[in-house]
């Protein structure tokens, strides 16, 4: 993962509530074990018609969505079955954060491990974002805050270890690997104190 300190981007609004992981990335695309290319299947059943052609009325198929890194979604985003492919697809498409009033726990944990910041905000901030699609906002990972173009700033919950990993561009395995020297020194000292 790349270190992620701030995200400054226009937003895409998908106000639907209860967007589950099968809507984010349909199960038929879960046969891959790599992230690359999954962005093309993001919201596939909403983005494409039966012939595989883009539906012009879907927000991600509109020019205003190009380059946006922040998705504003309805309440209870990421519910449904656990699948890491959901944040993979969002990340591969180019999203670096999802904002909602509620984000499902399993999705939130998977997102954090894959460089997508789940931002849970209060109802007033969420309503403002829903009513102002395409607005430029700033997310600061270190201070766990979201700043609107009005200057209004609100905090969001972000567990300290997850923040550390995002800021340093590592996942849990990467964190453990960074401790290899410390682990090795401990094992050597342990063997000296408690020989086999």
**What CATH number does the domain containing 40 carry?**
3.20.19.10
Residue 54 lies in a domain: yes
Q: Is the pLDDT of residue 188 over 90?
A: no
Longest Cα separation, the chain: 70
Domain count, the chain: 1
Of the two residues 188 and 125, the one the predictor is more confident about is 125
178 domain-assigned: no
Cα–Cα distance for residue pair 39/91, rounded to 1 Å = 7
Crossing angle of helices 105-112 and 160-168, in 10° steps, is 30
Residue 83 is predicted with a pLDDT of 86
Q: What per-residue string of b and e applies to 149-163 under the rule 16 or more CB within 10 Å gives b?
A: eeeeebebebeeebb
User: What is the reported pLDDT for 190?
Assistant: 82
Residue 172: what pLDDT? 86
Q: Place 128 in a pLDDT band, splitting at 50, 70 and 90.
A: very high
Question: Picking from 49-58, 137-146, 166-175, which range would have the lowest pLDDT averaged per residue?
Answer: 166-175
User: Residue 24 falls within a domain, yes or no?
Assistant: yes
Position 173 in a domain:
no
Arithmetic mean of pLDDT over the chain: 94
pTM value is 0.91
Question: CA neighbours within 13 Å on the CB side: how many for 35?
Answer: 15
Contact 21, 81 (CB under 8 A): yes
Q: What is the 3-state secondary structure (H, E, C) of the chain?
A: CCCCCEEEEEEEEECCCCCEHHHHCCHHHCCCCCCCCHHHHCCHHHHECCCCCECCCCHHHCHHHCCCCEEEECCCECECCCCCHHHHHHHHHCCCEEEECCECHHHHHHHHCCCCEEEECCHHHHHHHHHCCCCEEEEECCCCEEECCCCCEEECCCCHHHHHHHHHCCCHHHHHHHCHHHHHHHHHHHHHHCCC
The phi, psi pair for 52, rounded to 5°, reads: 85, 15
Q: Is residue 189 included in any domain, yes or no?
A: no
Is residue 180 a part of any domain in this protein?
A: no
Write the pLDDT tens digit of every residue in 74-103.
999 999 988 899 999 999 999 999 999 999
Q: How far apart are CA 156 and CA 18, in angstroms?
A: 20
Q: Is residue 43 part of a domain?
A: yes
Residue 196 pLDDT greater than 80, yes or no: no
Q: Is 71 inside a domain boundary?
A: yes
What is the per-residue pLDDT for 19? 97
Task: Give the mean model confidence (pLDDT) for residues 123-140.
Answer: 98
Task: Report which of 1, 4, 2, 36 is spatially closest to residue 163, judged by C-alpha positions.
Answer: 4
Please give the residue range of the domain that contains residue 84: 6-168
């Amino acid at each position: 993962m790349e270190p992620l300190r701030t995200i400054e981007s226009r937003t895409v609004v998908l106000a639907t509530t209860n967007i589950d992981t099968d809507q984010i990335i349909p199960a038929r695309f879960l046969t891959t074990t790599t992230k690359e290319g999954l962005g093309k299947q993001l919201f596939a059943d909403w983005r494409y018609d039966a012939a595989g052609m883009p539906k012009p009325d879907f927000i991600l198929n509109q020019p205003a969505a190009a380059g946006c890194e922040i998705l504003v979604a309805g309440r209870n985003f990421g519910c449904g079955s656990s699948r890491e492919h959901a944040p993979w697809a969002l990340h591969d498409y180019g999203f670096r954060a999802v904002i909602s009033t509620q984000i499902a726990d399993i999705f939130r944990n998977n997102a954090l491990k894959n460089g997508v910041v789940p931002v849970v905000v209060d109802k007033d901030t969420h309503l403002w974002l829903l009513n102002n699609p395409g607005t430029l906002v700033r997310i600061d990972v270190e201070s766990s805050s979201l700043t609107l173009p009005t200057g209004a700033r609100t905090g969001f919950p972000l567990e300290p270890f997850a923040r550390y990993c995002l800021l340093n561009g590592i996942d849990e395995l990467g964190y453990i690997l960074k401790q290899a020297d410390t682990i090795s020194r401990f094992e050597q000292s342990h063997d000296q104190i408690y020989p086999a």
